[in-house]
Amino acid sequence: MERNNLYPIFLKMHQLQILIVGGGNVALEKLTFLLKSSPNANVHMVAPFFREEIKTLAKIYDVNMIDFTYDESFLCDKDLVIAATNKIDVNAQIYQDAKRRNLLINVADTPELCDFYLGGIVTKGNVKVAISTNGKSPTTAKRLRQFFEDVIPENVDDLVKNLNIYRKTIKGNFEDKVNTLNRITQTLINK
């Protein structure tokens, strides 16, 4: 049986410099999901053409758009790259350039050229759930996202905030605090 060995992390996208190369449908999809999850992300885009929807999002979210063909110099000072052009050879070049600079890269629809995948994401206030199918089925991730959006209550953020306040009042060492919080939250998973 195969296993998903990816390690999930939550990045502070407002502290990183992200480059999306491409201006078509795939780039729009990547930009839309990125901004939905992290509306304050520092996004730069480069392409010789941008869809109107991208231009609209760029104005709303302050995305830096560069109307130009890709050149390796655009990777300078970037932390993370998404290659989303409709040209396989350009995407492969972006991958090679990014790897040479030790940058994390995602080449759209090409799992073997990805350091990371963009999975399904559910956000309810401070609670965020990320879903990965190991790059095998974005449709399954989408359906699971829809399921979790329905089953996670809207007021879960109230619970998080209240537990945070309570956590600050607990006396004792780290282990005592963990045990106390585990005890009072056990009812969340009991049926």
Domain shared by 113 and 164, yes or no: no
CATH number at residue 84: 3.40.50.720
pLDDT above 90 covers what percent of the chain? Answer: 71
Residue 15 token pair: 């502290």
Domain shared by 136 and 109, yes or no: no
Residue 1: per-residue pLDDT: 83
Domain shared by 22 and 45, yes or no: yes
Tell me the residue range of the domain where 104 lies: 13-118
Would you say how long the chain is, in residues? 191
Domain shared by 82 and 36, yes or no: yes
Q: Exposure pattern of 164-180 as b/e (b: 16+ CB <10 Å)?
A: eeeeeeeeeeeeeeeee
For residue 11, give the 3-state DSSP assignment.
Answer: coil
Domain shared by 81 and 135, yes or no: no
**Tens digits of per-residue pLDDT, 112-123?**
999 998 888 999
Domain shared by 176 and 111, yes or no: no
Residue 21: per-residue pLDDT: 98
d(CA 13, CA 35): 10
For residue 2, is it within any domain? no
| pLDDT category of residue 191 using cuts at 50, 70 and 90 | low
For residue 8, is it within any domain? no
Number of domains composing the chain: 3
For residue 5, is it within any domain? no
Given a contact cutoff of 8 angstroms between Cβ atoms, the answer to whether 26 and 88 are in contact is no
For residue 1, is it within any domain? no
**Tens digits of per-residue pLDDT, 7-40?**
999 999 999 999 999 999 999 999 999 999 999 9
For residue 57, is it within any domain? yes
Domain shared by 39 and 111, yes or no: yes
Domain shared by 104 and 124, yes or no: no
Q: ∠52-55-58 over CA atoms, to 5°?
A: 155
Domain shared by 165 and 140, yes or no: no
In terms of pTM, does the model score above 0.85? Answer: yes
Domain shared by 114 and 64, yes or no: yes
Domain shared by 59 and 111, yes or no: yes
Domain shared by 126 and 99, yes or no: no
**Tens digits of per-residue pLDDT, 133-188?**
887 888 898 999 999 999 999 999 898 898 888 888 888 888 888 888 888 888 87
Residue 74: per-residue pLDDT: 98
> Please, what is the average pLDDT of the chain?
93
